Amino acid sequence: MNGSKEVWRLASEYEYDTSPPPTSALPDDGQLDAYAQSASFYHSSHSDPHACLPRFVYPSLLVCGTNQAFIFDVLTGARVQLIGDLQDVNAHGDGLDDITYVDVNVRHVFVCCESVLKVFLRETGRCVLEITSDQVYYGDQRFTLVYTPPDNSHWHPQSELMRCNTQKDVDMTVPAESQFNQPRLVVHGSHMALLLSCSCLIVVPDFERIISGETTLRAAALDIQLGSMGSQSIYLTYEHGRIAVATASGVFIVQFALGPDGSYGSEITVHRVVRMARYHDLQYISCLQMARWEYVAAACM
């Protein structure tokens, strides 16, 4: 899909919507072809193509090579900063790792390789935080999901979410071959969520407290194992105070409360999206976003 985001709308909404249709960011040919193909099989369509949104960034564009990061001002197109020496020679001494994800905010640049996440201070270009993916565990507070036989006590018939039982885990060993997949920094704060390839979610609230020495990663981080370690991690998003994670075993929504000092309460809440449990469908998720309206998780295939 070349990085764009498709917008589909329930066909039933058009019957009551009197607003004019969009005049820009119209559906592209691929989206229209998919609609035509679907309509030929299902005569009563459930969703119609509404728009196609290209990816955009503002006000800073971050572009990374294997060992350099370039920051451009979107308004002028000028390069405003170059950060070098992003990586060290890997453990095998045979070169540099592939970069799997990058992000930027006003103060920091985030560079994620398969084996390490590095945070650079934009003011100086210096690496101020490293988190490697081969640690046995990351936080003193660790949770895992507990399987219970299906019943109706955790599910409301008018909801697409089912609550999962969780328990604190004292022994959650992360395989050494685990890798970082899709790190994210929440826009409205300084909290960070990381997803290991073994479906382990690592949440680091107010990570600048680790940089300043006020706390440690183990004291601040929270480990949440979302299902089997053998389940592939697919996507992660962190918006509006909730985290949504897609793995090969399901789509989960994680919520927790932070105290004034940035510490966790004693409990977390995890919900699973009921109708998204087939691996054949989940493996094709290419984007996951959390809408403010009723905190619905939207997955793009």
Give tens-digit pLDDT for 163-202.
898 988 766 555 555 777 655 555 456 888 998 888 999 9
pLDDT of 267 higher than 60 = yes
Is 0.85 topped by the overall pTM? no
How far is it, in rounded angstroms, from Cα 191 to Cα 193?
7
Poorest-pLDDT segment among 42-51, 108-117, 125-134, 239-248: 42-51
- Residue range 31-55: average pLDDT? 78
Check: CB of residue 137 under 8 Å from CB of residue 173: yes
Torsion sign over Cα 100, 34, 296, 280 = negative
Task: Examine the domain organization and report whether 115 and 204 are in the same domain.
Answer: no
Greater model confidence, 213 or 298: 213
Q: Count of domains in the chain?
A: 3
Task: Examine the domain organization and report whether 177 and 287 are in the same domain.
Answer: yes
Greater model confidence, 136 or 123: 123
How buried is residue 286: exposed, middle or buried, by Cβ count under 10 Å (0-12/13-18/19+)?
Answer: middle
Task: Examine the domain organization and report whether 75 and 204 are in the same domain.
Answer: no
C-alpha count within 13 angstroms, C-beta hemisphere, residue 144: 14
Task: Examine the domain organization and report whether 145 and 215 are in the same domain.
Answer: yes
Task: Examine the domain organization and report whether 254 and 288 are in the same domain.
Answer: yes
What CATH number has the domain bearing residue 113? 2.40.10.480
Task: Examine the domain organization and report whether 12 and 94 are in the same domain.
Answer: no
How buried is residue 96: exposed, middle or buried, by Cβ count under 10 Å (0-12/13-18/19+)?
Answer: middle
Task: Examine the domain organization and report whether 202 and 156 are in the same domain.
Answer: yes
At which of 78, 97, 132 does a domain end?
A: 132
C-alpha count within 13 angstroms, C-beta hemisphere, residue 253: 23
Give the per-residue pLDDT at 14.
67
At which of 110, 132, 154 does a domain end?
A: 132
pLDDT tens digit string along 52-99?
Answer: 877 677 799 999 988 999 999 999 999 999 999 998 865 555 667 888
Task: Examine the domain organization and report whether 101 and 147 are in the same domain.
Answer: no
Task: Examine the domain organization and report whether 267 and 216 are in the same domain.
Answer: yes
Task: Examine the domain organization and report whether 121 and 206 are in the same domain.
Answer: no
Give the per-residue pLDDT at 80.
96
Residue percentage of the chain with pLDDT more than 70: 78
Mean pLDDT taken over the chain: 81
At which of 132, 150, 167 does a domain end?
A: 132
Alpha helices in the chain (DSSP H): 29-41, 208-211, 217-220, 279-282
Token pair listed for 75: 């308004």
In 3D space, the residue among 299, 277, 279 whose CA is nearest the CA of residue 288 turns out to be: 299
C-alpha count within 13 angstroms, C-beta hemisphere, residue 19: 6
CA distances from 123 to 81, 126, 191 (A): 10, 8, 20
Task: Examine the domain organization and report whether 41 and 108 are in the same domain.
Answer: no
pLDDT tens digit string along 229-264?
Answer: 888 888 888 888 889 999 999 999 999 887 766 566
- Residue range 221-228: average pLDDT? 91
In 3D space, the residue among 222, 224, 246 whose CA is nearest the CA of residue 233 turns out to be: 246
Task: Examine the domain organization and report whether 297 and 176 are in the same domain.
Answer: yes
Within 8 A by CB and 6+ apart from 234, the residues are 181, 246, 247, 248, 282, 283, 285
Domain that holds residue 192: 136-301
pLDDT of 226 higher than 90 = yes
Greater model confidence, 114 or 108: 108
Give the per-residue pLDDT at 246.
92
